[in-house]
């Protein structure tokens, strides 16, 4: 059973899909592991560290030759996969909705593409969930990015020269990224408030010492979609939320937005008019900028200034913490493959619940129901 670990080709991608730790574990399972030269360089992992754990280091062609499983952070170019076995698994974050043509190419190439971001949110799959592991780091980094752009201190400081007021931070969207953003801002000494369309998050916000900001006037709208994700809200709720947010946002120094809806453009949470109500020198970090953005005027890959407010729109935020992000991502992939490892066959064998949830292509066809509808 040969597992190939590729060097990421996407612009700005610094993560790697395996670490020396996970290579050692794969070898212990009886797998042969091949790592493309310099695959871990941007994540501060030298080729020798992989070799010391039993991996073969080589060029892309040698790494892919007769590979049964190909690991990646982002989906590799189908044209670059020559040499892998027919029916080889492609295990990575595949962005199925944004890169549909690539999914079709995996099918026509005879590969079995497994999209790790489609991992079901069930208890036994928590350790395999790349969205959670990477979002956790994104929420942390978002607050650090905000602090770097904010021209003032976060904590309250009482000095002989006078008192410095604590920064006011507002987190919009309390998923994994939002919760970590709240915790990080609190550690830095900010006054933190947060909101979400899911009523169940109120207790989580309070447990982290932040103030929940919720629409109270509109009853019976919970915002809870399938699998623990948020869902699209009614127009009535959106109007009530916009009114509430407008009043609150004008008083904030920093806003972090994290709202995403799988398979759809990110919901617009902050309008240009609302940005204009914020104080000059305020900062907004839009973690959904690559999905269309929560903030009007946000630009993917740029820090722009509107009405004296900086709007931070970094791409691929987990990659900005490449070493830790790689370690967590690699463990997600190992936890996934090892959970289904059949010792007699010497390879992983998927069950229906998780296999059907993440399998995009098989037998030369696109098979996932979310891509067929």
> Which of the residues are catalytic?
121, 126, 129, 132, 229
Is the distance from CB of 255 to CB of 168 less than 8 angstroms? no
Handedness of CA 194, 199, 202, 203 (dihedral sign): negative
**DSSP 3-state helix, strand, coil percentages of the chain (rounded to 5)?**
40, 20, 40
Is the distance from CB of 288 to CB of 258 less than 8 angstroms? yes
Start-end of H helices in the chain: 20-28, 47-52, 60-64, 100-108, 130-149, 176-187, 202-207, 235-249, 272-276, 322-339, 352-358, 369-372
CB-based contacts of 167: which residues, under 8 Å, 6+ apart? 150, 152, 153, 154, 155, 185, 188, 189, 190, 191, 253, 254
């Amino acid at each position: 059973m040969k597992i190939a670990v590729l060097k990421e080709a996407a612009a700005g991608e610094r993560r790697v899909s395996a670490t020396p730790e996970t290579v050692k574990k794969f070898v212990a399972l009886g797998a042969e592991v091949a790592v493309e030269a310099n695959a871990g360089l941007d994540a501060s992992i030298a080729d020798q560290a992989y070799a010391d754990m039993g991996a073969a280091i080589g060029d892309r062609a040698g790494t892919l030759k007769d590979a049964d499983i190909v690991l990646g952070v982002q989906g590799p170019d189908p044209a670059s996969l020559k040499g892998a076995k027919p029916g080889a698994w492609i295990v990575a974050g595949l962005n199925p909705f944004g890169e549909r043509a690539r999914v079709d190419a995996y099918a026509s190439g005879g590969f079995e593409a497994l999209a790790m971001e489609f991992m079901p949110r069930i208890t036994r799959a928590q350790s395999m969930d790349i969205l959670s592991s990477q979002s956790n780091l994104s929420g942390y980094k978002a607050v650090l990015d905000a602090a770097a752009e904010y021209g003032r201190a976060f904590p309250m400081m009482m000095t002989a020269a006078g008192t410095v007021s604590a920064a006011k931070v507002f987190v919009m969207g309390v998923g994994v990224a939002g919760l970590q953003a709240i915790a990080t801002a609190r550690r830095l000494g900010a006054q933190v408030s947060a909101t979400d369309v899911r009523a169940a998050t109120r207790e989580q916000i309070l447990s982290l010492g932040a103030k929940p900001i919720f629409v109270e006037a509109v009853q019976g709208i919970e915002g809870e979609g399938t699998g623990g994700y948020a869902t699209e809200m009614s127009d009535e709720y959106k109007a009530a939320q916009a009114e509430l947010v407008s009043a609150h946002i004008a008083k904030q120094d920093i806003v972090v937005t994290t709202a995403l809806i799988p398979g759809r453009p990110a919901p617009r949470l902050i309008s240009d008019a609302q940005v204009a109500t914020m104080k000059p020198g305020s900062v907004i970090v839009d973690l959904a900028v690559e999905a269309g953005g929560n903030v009007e005027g946000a630009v993917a890959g740029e820090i722009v200034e509107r009405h004296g407010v900086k709007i931070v729109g970094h791409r691929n935020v987990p990659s900005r913490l490449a070493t830790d992000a790689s370690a967590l991502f690699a463990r997600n992939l190992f936890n996934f493959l090892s959970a289904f490892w059949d010792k007699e066959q010497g390879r992983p064998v998927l069950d229906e619940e998780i296999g059907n949830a993440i399998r995009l292509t098989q037998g030369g066809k696109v098979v996932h129901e979310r891509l067929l509808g």
